[in-house]
Chain A
Amino acid sequence: MTVPEKVAEANKRVIDIMTKARPVWTDVRPAIDAVPGMERNLILIPGPPIEVKELPIPLKTAVCGAACHDGLAKNVDEAWEMVLRGEIKIAPSQDYNCGNAASSVMSASMPVFVVEDKTSGGAGYCVPHPGSNPRVLRWGIYGEDVEENLRFIRGDYAEVLGEAVRKSGGIDLVRILSKTAGMGDENHNRQPAASMALALELVPYLLDVQHPARDRVIKEICANDRFFLHVMMAGVEAVMQKAKEEPYSTVMVGMGGNGVEFGIQVAATGNKWYTTPAPKISGIFLKPTTTEDDLLGYLGDSCVTEVWGLGGMSAIAGPAYLRMTGGTFRDAKERTEKARQVSLGEHNFAPIPWDDYRGFPVGVDIRKVVGLNILPISHGGSALKTGGQAGAGAAELPMEVFKKAVEGVANEVKRMEGEE
């Protein structure tokens, strides 16, 4: 077979993995028990690799907070010294089939959603969404109140939720997306319908759990319209695990930012990152006093949902998000059309009624992005340099990462072909 034929076949296999996936949420377990390769002194962070000294303030706070939460250090100052000495290690979440949204980090004792792709056999992980309180590790804030909430999530919350999910026998995320088709979610930055549908499946099992904190946990989940996001991120990571094992494929299988750099991963080269300075999210600010100078670059792994065709890729499915962030219905349509031009597949589980019942485009081919010179647009929340959420909006993915990826994949293919 020629190289182009091998690439075409590998891409077909990756698109099959992505479009035939059935990610099912099966459990809630401590990261140290669930995540392969997790270590007691390892803290997983969003985005591509970064030198510890380069960590932006919100991530530095989150890493040190997580170290205290795990008992690795007595206070954040001691934690930072340990990070600098390498006694506490950091690594990109997506290298471990995990995702960390915004400034979230994952330490060994934190509970993670376990999602298994029943078709490909992959598994992915993500910490729970902490709710609407703005003072959370997820936005790079740590203090006594944050620690108290982290302990609740690690303790009662994880116990109750884990038991309910196990009792349910697993919750099929494709079923949730199918049931909520046409309800206005784009499933990255807007998912009230999916969160409600998920609660609808979960609450009967939660009511069967005998635990003193049961009612509080039910309240937390039912009051969190973004609950579905972190479950879905684990689901996408489950799908991408096997997609990353396809040499020759030019399909994007990972992306994320650490506030300083933004990067993508491509199936042919697995966990290798292609990076560039992180773009900023354009959109709205939560406070009128915020300016663009206050913004950190793209931060977080929640855009893994985009890798599977959600968010900006299927913006037309959730046009209200565009309205909220300063765009129009036409902008939403244009974002999805751009994604369609550079994607190799289309999901069939959630047709969009006002878009001729088309499905979400999925499987961005780096060759198409570079060749057609069309940049897909990702949705995302924006972070303040000092910590906290700035706002929400969208960012064009930088061409530089796609060009580097074409170069990297071509080099890998040449190596495999014995041409180098």
Chain B
Amino acid sequence: MTDTSKILSLFRSELVVVNVGPKSFADVLEKQGYKSLQVDWKPAAGGDKRMQELLDYLGGY
């Protein structure tokens, strides 16, 4: 028989949301009483694909 206790304990524990992207997504959850962790991440070169290619060519940053 499959042991479901681990997964059930995860579902029954306090919810903490890891937010990657705009902080406003996490703000909404926090207003409803949930905890969140904001990941400090931005797309390379502000998402500019041409720049990403050139930066890779020059060894990254």
Q: Which residues of A contact B (CB under 8 A)?
A: 3-5, 7-8, 250, 365, 367-368, 370-373, 403, 406-407, 409-410, 413-414
A403–B57 CA distance with the chains assembled, in angstroms: 14
Q: Report B45 CB to chain A, min CB distance, Å.
A: 5
A8 CB contacts on chain B under 8 angstroms: 59
Q: B15 at interface (Cβ–Cβ under 8 A)?
A: no
A403–B48 CA distance with the chains assembled, in angstroms: 10
Q: Report A394 CB to chain B, min CB distance, Å.
A: 22
The list of the 5 closest CB pairs from A to B, nearest first, reads A4-B59, A371-B61, A367-B61, A410-B54, A373-B46
The answer to whether B59 touches A371, judged by C-beta atoms less than 8 angstroms apart, is no
The answer to whether A3 touches B58, judged by C-beta atoms less than 8 angstroms apart, is yes
The answer to whether B58 touches A4, judged by C-beta atoms less than 8 angstroms apart, is yes
Q: Nearest CB to that of A399 among chain B residues?
A: B46
What sequence of 0s and 1s flags, for each residue 32-61 of chain B, a beta carbon within 8 Å of any chain A beta carbon?
000000000010111010110011011111
The answer to whether A365 touches B61, judged by C-beta atoms less than 8 angstroms apart, is yes
A8–B48 CA distance with the chains assembled, in angstroms: 23
The answer to whether A371 touches B57, judged by C-beta atoms less than 8 angstroms apart, is no
Add 8 more A-B contacts to A4-B59, A403-B51, A409-B58 (CB < 8 A).
A3-B59, A368-B61, A370-B61, A371-B45, A371-B51, A406-B55, A407-B54, A413-B58
Q: Report A345 CB to chain B, min CB distance, Å.
A: 15
Using C-beta atoms within 8 Å of the partner chain, give the interface range for chain B. Answer: 10 to 19
How many residue pairs, one in A and one in B, have C-beta atoms under 8 Å apart? Answer: 49
A367 CB contacts on chain B under 8 angstroms: 55, 58-61
B59 CB contacts on chain A under 8 angstroms: 3-5, 7-8, 367
A413–B59 CA distance with the chains assembled, in angstroms: 12
Q: Nearest CB to that of A371 among chain B residues?
A: B61
The answer to whether A370 touches B45, judged by C-beta atoms less than 8 angstroms apart, is yes
A413 CB contacts on chain B under 8 angstroms: 57-58
Subset of 29 A-B contacts with CB under 8 Å? A3-B57, A3-B58, A3-B59, A4-B60, A7-B58, A7-B59, A8-B59, A250-B58, A367-B58, A367-B59, A367-B60, A368-B61, A370-B45, A370-B48, A370-B61, A371-B44, A371-B55, A371-B60, A403-B51, A406-B51, A406-B54, A406-B55, A407-B50, A407-B54, A409-B58, A410-B54, A410-B58, A413-B58, A414-B57
B50 CB contacts on chain A under 8 angstroms: 407
The answer to whether B57 touches A410, judged by C-beta atoms less than 8 angstroms apart, is yes
A373 CB contacts on chain B under 8 angstroms: 42, 45-46
